[in-house]
Amino acid sequence: MKKLLLQVIAVCAAVIFSYNVNAQTNDVHVQLGSYAPIATENDYPNAIFDLLRNHNVDSLLGTAVCYGVCWTGDYYVTSRFSTANRFNRMNSSWVKVDSFAASGAGTGFFRDLAYANGKIWGSPLSNTIYGINPNTGVMEKTIVTSGASIRALTWDPVRKGFWCGTNNFTGPLVCYDTNGVAIAGASITMPASGCYGVAYDDDPAGPFLWVSTDQTPTSTTGSAVLKFNATTLTQIGTPINFTVPLTSGAPLSSGGCEVTTTLIPGKRTLVGLVQGSPDRVYALELGNAGAVVPTGTWTEQVSGLTSVLYSVSAVNDDVAWVCGASGKVLRTTNKGQNWTNVSGTIPTTLALYNIFAWDANIAVVTGVSGANTSIYQTSNGGTTWTLANTHAGFGDDLYMSSATDAYFIGDPIAGNWDLLKSTNGGLNWASWTTLPTTNTSGTYNNAAFFQGTQVWFESVGLSTIHYSSNMGANWTSQTIPLSEITAIQFTSPTRGLAGGSSTSPGLLSTTNAGTNWSTLTSPYPTNSISGIVGAGTTWWVSQQGLGISISTNDGTSFSTAYTAPAGNFYHMTKSRAGATIWAVRSNGGISRYGQPILGINPISNTAPDNYMLSQNYPNPFNPVTKINFAIPKSGLVTIKIYDLLGKEVQTLVNEVKNAGSYSVDFNGSELSSGIYFYKINVNGFSDIKKMTLIK
């Protein structure tokens, strides 16, 4: 009987899987009103209340009017208006997974939804809250409250209860414990514009409650949210209005909402629903999701160079660029397993001191030859480079806040800092802002730091850091205990460290964006600090030498993290969307800190007779397993990992391989226990196998 049950489960899973991998997406992701696919955190500026996703509900589901939405970490769930107790599942790419009916739940149309403690929670405008198992659709928990006509709903993990919008959308908002008893003092009066959804936000600066409501006066193209302090229950600020493109209403009505940090990497988003023509699910940016602290081991990577590397820019855990002497630019798209020379037509007479890469294709680099500085730009991954600007001076720092907006900091010219800006991805440059100075020594390359609209860079010899809180519109001077700074890093708008040069050694700390700087005990009391990386309360500091040190107590003390085999570290950075650190050295060395790279290893170069995908081993596994495959002729091989619902969780292989037999490692450390599938596609051949991760 047990064997039969397992076979049934496998067949059902295979059916679900087959359905999902063949489903087609029919909607768009949204950024700042434009429509383009979302990839990583760095596809978006750090702008609060940007609309990051905007999905058409009606065209995908073939039904008008949905009431609520939640994000489970794996898929969206929406409640349907046209059929009682009916729900729909969509993956993160807005591909429909399935629809299911909630059995055992009260009859009606569920309004706002919440996902908590492994269940989907909602109420069909009654006094009862139902907890539904999202895998089986079975109602597993019933909470009868003293409220009436519950619409808005969210779980409060501090109070251990549900905030409920009672009396349909008029309120008040009341928190009930899991026995349905109103918690004393936990009540908020709602505005006349209504309470359609509520979301709990565990932001470290909070916690907060977000309420979806209508605009005042009502709008046919937009919606609004209210923010409350979840501790004091007081409203913060005024209603936040936002436009939802591609829909309209009379007026456009708000639906349910929920806060999540797992939908878009690195982002804290409010996922909500508006009822219009058509209904749309949106994701509104609330801020960053918090730092991902790198973990793993230090390893050496092969650059193929012995000349000095000056700068590194890491887009994510896969993509990074480095630059150095003799016009050299290298790029990796596979975590550094291979570094490719993409210097192209950049003159070898240039010493390239700083590089910034927006993604795997767009990058800007600045170099110096004699008394002139040049800026080169590529939009095709370094295949070709365009000389975008050349002028007398010395370029130190580059930064891009979007795929179009780029910034340049150079040494002073005629009493003003050399500050340029591009609005077309680095192809053309003009004056950014005017900042007079008496400095004649300039600043250090790779020493500036940009964060949102905040900018810091130092002035050599003047014990000064120049600071702007509004992207250069205004500048202030911050007095520091050191005369020179060679590296600056912030982990929040207020928390930062700065390191000094060998002529002014030391390590500085600030907790108020640099208004005040104090000294820390430097791990390198006589050497220049060549790089600083921070995540949360963990800091890494590299010296212009062999060593990198780490602090896990917010800079109070440091210990040795890594010692390079040779060469001096010149720069260090962390991937902007991810948890990998790269550092470059004077001898062409590249050091990497992060999770082990699991590569594709050839077993045999002899062409097999047939295509084959082998069963992984060990199986079950925790957390690493091997997958072998064989191909009789060369071709593009893709192996993708899917969960039980057909959601793609990882692309394991995506490259051209010659005929032969191969082995690839899969690391499931970031996944939860469960059944997963892996699928190979090559030259028209396809096969799927199941594997089990047990932690």
What's the alpha-carbon Rg for the chain, to the nearest Å? 28
For residue 312, pLDDT over 60 is answered with yes
pLDDT-above-90 percentage for the chain? 51
Instruction: Look at the chain and count its residues.
Output: 695
Mean pLDDT score across all residues of the chain: 85
Query: What CATH number is given for 600-693 in this structure?
Result: 2.60.40.1930
Q: Where in the chain is the domain with CATH 2.120.10?
A: 2-288
Give the pLDDT score at 268. Answer: 84
CATH 2.130.10.10 range(s) for the chain read 297-594
Mean pLDDT, range 344-358, rounded to an integer: 96
User: Can you give the pLDDT at residue 7?
Assistant: 34
Looking at residue 17, what is its pLDDT?
Answer: 35
- 16: its two tokens: 């679900």
- Is residue 274 within 8 Å of residue 244, measured between CB atoms? yes
622-659 residue pLDDT tens:
888 899 999 999 988 999 999 888 888 888 887 888 89
C-alpha dihedral (418, 423, 425, 428), degrees to nearest 10? -60
β partners of residue 519: 508
Would you identify the CATH topology of the domain 2-288?
A: Neuraminidase (2.120.10)
Tell me the mean pLDDT in the region 49-73: 76
For residue 33, pLDDT beyond 60: no
Does residue 312 contact residue 356 with C-beta atoms inside 8 Å? no
Which residue reads 């990583």 in tokens? 40
Scored b (16 or more CB within 10 A) or e, 170-201 reads: ebebbbbbeebebbeebebebbebbbbbbbbb
Stronger pLDDT, 26 or 668, i.e. the higher one: 668
pLDDT confidence bin for 25, thresholds 50/70/90:
very low
Report the alpha-carbon distance of residue 339 to residue 461 in Å, rounded: 37
Give the span between the Cα atoms of 573 and 592, in whole angstroms.
10
Judged by average pLDDT, the poorest of 166-175, 261-270, 370-379, 461-470 is: 261-270
Looking at the chain, the domain(s) classified CATH 2.60.40.1930 span 600-693
pLDDT by residue (tens digit) across 220-246? 888 889 999 988 899 988 888 888 888
Full-model pTM: 0.58
Q: Residue 251 is encoded by which pair of tokens?
A: 């007026």
Confidence of residue 19 (pLDDT cuts 50, 70, 90): very low
Q: How many helices (H) and strands (E) does the chain have?
A: 2, 58
pLDDT, tens digit, 9 for 90 and up, residues 504-534? 999 999 999 999 999 999 999 999 999 999 9
Query: What is the three-state SS of 182-251?
Result: EEEEEEECCCCCCCCEEEEECCCCCCEEEEEECCCCCCCCEEEEEEEECCCCCEEEEEEEEECCCCCCCC
**229 φ, ψ (degrees, to nearest 5):** -75, 120
Token pair 């916690």 is found at: 207
Which tens digit of pLDDT belongs to each residue from 556-599?
A: 999 999 999 999 999 999 998 778 999 999 999 999 999 877 66
pLDDT at position 265 over 80? no
Fold observed for domain 297-594: Methylamine Dehydrogenase; Chain H (2.130.10)
Q: Are strands 119-122 and 222-229 parallel, antiparallel or unpaired?
A: unpaired
Q: How confident is the model at residue 80 (pLDDT cuts 50, 70, 90)?
A: confident
Flag whether pLDDT at 107 surpasses 70. Answer: no
Query: CA–CA distance from 344 to each of 35, 114, 329, 376, 384 (Å)?
Result: 32, 52, 8, 11, 6
What are the pLDDT digits (tens) for 353-390?
Answer: 999 999 999 999 999 999 999 999 999 999 999 999 99
d(CA 303, CA 330): 8
| pLDDT at residue 31 in the model | 30
Beta bridge partners of 391: 373
